[in-house]
Amino acid sequence: MDMKLIDAMPGARNCAVTLAGVTRGENVFILTDSNSDPRIAQALAAACREAGAAVTVSFMESRSIPHEEPPKPVAAAMKASDVFFEICEPMILYSAACREAKDAGARHIVCAMENIKGLCSEGARWPLEITFEVCRRVFHQWRNGKTIHITAENGTDLVSELRPEYVVGGPMRSVEPGTFEVFAGGTGDVGVWPAWTAEGVLVFDCLHTFVGLLDRKVKVTVEKGRVVNVEGGAAQVKFLEEVREKYGEDAWHLGELMIGLCPKARVLTDDPSHLEAHRHAGCLHAAMGMSIDFYEDPTDRKTLKMTPSVDPGIHLDHLVIEPTITIDGEPCVEKGRLLALDDPDIQALARKLGVEA
């Protein structure tokens, strides 16, 4: 095992043991693809074997678009596993195969990292005990609110209703059967499907599938939960218009408003999915397209049903990096700083675990 794999092992154990809850005797399936660093799979496999699990690693050609179906043999292996790790770019998270695997009781971890550095990062090693506590606090604030208001110095100004059945948050504990989490140089998020109530303007600093900060930010106008106008660079506007033409009007549905919870996740913009930035505490990603998460009981992740509420066949997550967010007028995020991290109990827990929140 070379030094880079050794350096990745604390993050791999955090992902496999603390988050996924891998234990002795379980069947673990690790899927990677031609766009991904194979050392991520090696490190996770080593962590799972240390925990006493039986591990199978499989390779496939990368999919052409996000959430495209994997080959049938891969889908069968996912469904037969106790835990499966997805290391794919683009991801397959919202594919029917993934939903069927979770319906069969599998625990699904999306390892969304460009290379082994993601597992070596400070965010990957961040104590999940802190994330669990932060998630409970933010989830409680959102679930008990009625209105979310998002602004930013880039011109963002959006208001939406909050309905408790559409507020999602994780992780609050290790992943349970039939559920999933994303581990991308850190983990943790709370969000809501706006349920066709969003009104206002979002100005994106990064656009899904485009590398880097946008030279000209993309401004979208939202009415009754649907994007009705797009302004910005010619390439980005053309891309979004072609997406709507190919996938239909619901491709411009505002499907999700979600913030990250991990203060050490990096705001990386040099990959097309920006998934580690999604996990950075206080960073907002807003999706256009599919709404997928639905809870029968929003306090119990075991009741998560992966049935699309709106399903045009695409889900694109765009970034507002430093938002200010209030819930019923009470602050949640201030210029990108997640205020739950300043809670005295969270600060005390961080000191106890030897880290700085």
The whole-angstrom separation of Cα 337 and Cα 186 is: 16
Q: How many CA atoms lie within 13 A of 291 on its CB side?
A: 23
Report how far residue 207's alpha carbon sits from residue 117's, in angstroms, rounded to the nearest whole number. 23
Rounded CA separation 188/49 (Å) = 25
Residue 284 pLDDT greater than 90, yes or no: yes
| End-to-end CA separation in angstroms for the chain | 32
Confidence band of 291 (pLDDT split at 50, 70, 90): confident
Longest distance between any two alpha carbons in the chain, whole Å: 54
Checking if the pLDDT of 109 tops 80, the result is yes
Q: Looking up tokens 């200010």, which residue turns up?
A: 324
- 223 has a pLDDT exceeding 80: yes
Are 188 and 279 spatial neighbours (Cβ–Cβ below 8 Å)?
yes
**Is the model more confident about 199 or about 164?**
199
Q: What is the mean pLDDT of residues 81-95?
A: 93
Q: How far is CA 50 from the centre of its chain?
A: 27
Q: How confident is the model at residue 296 (pLDDT cuts 50, 70, 90)?
A: low
Mean pLDDT of 186-215: 95
Mean pLDDT confidence for 54-65 = 94
pTM of the model: 0.88
Strand blocks (E) in the chain: 27-33, 54-60, 83-87, 107-111, 147-151, 157-161, 167-170, 180-183, 189-192, 199-204, 218-223, 226-231, 254-260, 284-291, 294-295, 304-305, 310-320, 324-327, 330-334, 337-338
pLDDT at 300 over 60: no
* pLDDT of amino acid 294: 54
Residues facing 259 on adjacent strands: 190, 284
Average pLDDT of the segment spanning 100-128? 94
Question: What is the DSSP secondary structure assignment for residue 353, as one 8-state letter?
Answer: T
Nearest-angstrom CA–CA distance, 179 and 288: 22
User: What pLDDT is recorded for position 299?
Assistant: 52
Residue 313's pLDDT band, with cuts at 50, 70 and 90, is confident
Please report the beta strands in 125-275, taking only residues with DSSP state E, as ranges in sequence order: 147-151, 157-161, 167-170, 180-183, 189-192, 199-204, 218-223, 226-231, 254-260
From the CB of residue 69, how many other CB atoms can be counted at a distance below 10 Å?
13
**Region 55-65 average pLDDT:** 94
CB contact set of 133 (below 8 Å; sequence gap of 6+): 345, 346, 349
What is d(CA 109, CA 15) in angstroms, rounded to the nearest whole number? 8
Q: Is the pLDDT of residue 71 over 50?
A: yes
**Domain 3-120 class in CATH:** alpha beta
- The residue that leads in pLDDT, 310 or 187, is 187
Residues of the chain within CATH 3.40.50.2300 domain(s) are: 3-120
> What is the residue whose two structure tokens read 């994330």?
131
Q: What is the mean pLDDT of residues 42-56?
A: 98
- How confident is residue 1, by pLDDT bands cut at 50, 70 and 90? very low
Q: What is the mean pLDDT of residues 302-325?
A: 80
Give the tokens for residue 15: 């992902």
Check pLDDT > 70 for residue 303.
Answer: no
Of the chain, the percentage scoring pLDDT greater than 70 comes to 94
Looking at the chain, how many residues does it have?
357
Higher pLDDT among residues 89 and 344, named by residue: 344
46 has a pLDDT exceeding 70 = yes
Give the DSSP letter of residue 22: -
Report the pLDDT value the prediction gives residue 290, as an integer from 0 to 100.
Answer: 86
Question: What pLDDT shows up at residue 273?
Answer: 85
Residue with more model confidence, 325 or 195? 325
- Residue 186: what pLDDT? 92
